Amino acid sequence: MKRILLFSSALFASIPALANEGGAINGSAGMYAIAAAVAIGTAAFAGTFAQGKVGASAMEGIARNPEAQKSMFVPMIISLVLIESLVIYALVVAFQLIGKI
């Protein structure tokens, strides 16, 4: 009997929430927020992983041949800049998605 009473009271309490027409608009806003969070989270994770690999590879190359430091420095910096630009692009996309809320 307790279960039936609890179920029926929960059912009757949720009817006004389902009648609200503004709920459909806010439902898509939540999806935009989730998409923005996933976009920047994935980009930040992948960017830091890639930058770590670039740094480790550069340090390994310099450790093997210290004289090659000058020839490795510029390509390493360019690689880091390109990786960081992808993260910044994801941040811009996240801001655009947040702007739709």
Burial class (CB in 10 A: 0-12, 13-18, 19+), 80: middle
What pTM was estimated for this model as a whole? 0.62
- Give the Cα separation of 21 and 5 in Å (integer): 28
Handedness of CA 18, 22, 28, 32 (dihedral sign): negative
Question: Quick one: average pLDDT of 21-26?
Answer: 55
CATH code of the domain occupying 46-101: 1.20.20.10
Question: Quick one: average pLDDT of 34-47?
Answer: 88
Burial class (CB in 10 A: 0-12, 13-18, 19+), 94: buried
pLDDT digits (tens, 9 = 90+) for 49-79: 999 999 999 999 999 999 988 999 999 999 9
Contacts (Cβ under 8 Å, ≥6 apart) of 66: none
CB 6 within 8 A of CB 68: no
What confidence score (pLDDT) does residue 93 get?
87
**Domain ranges across the chain:** 46-101
Residue 17 binned pLDDT confidence (cut-offs 50, 70, 90): low
What confidence score (pLDDT) does residue 37 get?
87
